[in-house]
Amino acid sequence: MIKKIILFFEKNKNFSIIALIGVFILMWCFSSIPGSAIQAKSIWPSRIYHFSIFFAFTFCFIAVINNKKMNVKIFLITILVSLGIACLDEIHQYFVPMRSVDFGDILTDLTGVISSITIYTFFRNKKIK
């Protein structure tokens, strides 16, 4: 099932690009919410959000840039671009009222990126039965 989703995203580059832009816009909108509007009693909702949004961003990004063969260059580009976006997201939050830079968020984002790459690669290389 997951392999079929991966193949769909890879074959339909326009869909993948639209999904990637959609995830990025969603990320930017959530980052623009002032701190007083966020009423989290725990850090876990933030961590789950950061992990999930960067997992999705990375999944779409790999599908957009991937060619027939997965290689180290694709992994490095994906990690660098995703980490760059994570850092820009935190810098953006610095300018939003009652928000701040949180390096824990960047680590959570990186965990989502690495997880997405790992799962994408595992299922992409798996044989369909």
Residue 80's contacts (CB-CB under 8 Å, 6 or more residues apart) are none
- Per-residue pLDDT 10s for the chain (129 aa) are 888 999 899 999 999 999 999 999 999 999 998 876 565 566 668 899 999 999 999 999 999 998 777 788 888 999 999 999 999 999 999 999 888 888 999 999 999 999 999 999 998 887 766
**Domain total in the chain:** 1
Domain-embedded: residue 90: yes
Residue 127 in any domain: the answer is: no
Establish if 16 belongs to a structural domain: yes
- Indicate whether 14 belongs to any domain: yes
In a domain, 38, yes or no: no
Q: Residue 73 belongs to what domain range?
A: 2-30+43-122
Of 52, 82, 48, nearest to 65 by C-alpha is 82
- On whether residue 37 sits in a domain, the answer given is no
Question: pTM of the full predicted structure?
Answer: 0.88
Closest to 108 measured CA to CA, from 39, 32, 40, 57: 57
